[in-house]
Copies of this chain bind each other. A is one copy, B any other.
């Protein structure tokens, strides 16, 4: 049984974040020491590693709840897990596409050789939608 500080060190998840995950129902309520401090088992460590790893991949708390639930039922078809993953993947693809559009628009307006704000393409573009090449 390890303390929350030890768990934090081993997983790289900050202590308040661990308590937050507990509150959100991602982590089981742990046992307590006589003095009311949290004590975690090997299983708690495994579960938090799973969560950490999922968050690193950008899954939401809600998605992780489902993934954790699935991981506890090895006999279930993995279609569900793939569904969650591919939903997340298309979300990421959309975000990339959107950011790329912003990127090219910003690059375009940053090509401005003016000296003063009066003729600056950045300010002009923001002020006047008609100067914009693409819809965003």
Which of A's residues lie within 8 Å of B, judged by CB? 46, 49-50, 53-54, 56-58, 67, 70-71, 73-78, 81-82, 84-86, 88-89, 92-93, 95-96, 99-100, 102-103, 105-107, 109-110, 112, 114-120, 122-123, 125-127, 129, 132, 136
Contacts and interface: CB of A to CB of B under 8 A. Distances in A.
A54 B73 CA distance: 48
Which are the 6 A-B pairs with shortest beta-carbon distances? A78-B120, A74-B118, A81-B122, A89-B106, A56-B136, A78-B117
Nearest to A59: B126
18 contacts: A46-B127, A53-B125, A74-B116, A74-B118, A76-B117, A78-B114, A78-B116, A81-B123, A82-B110, A82-B122, A84-B122, A86-B110, A89-B106, A89-B110, A92-B102, A96-B99, A96-B100, A96-B103
A134 to B, nearest CB: 10
Given A71-B126, A78-B114, A96-B99, 4 more contacts: A46-B127, A56-B136, A75-B116, A99-B99
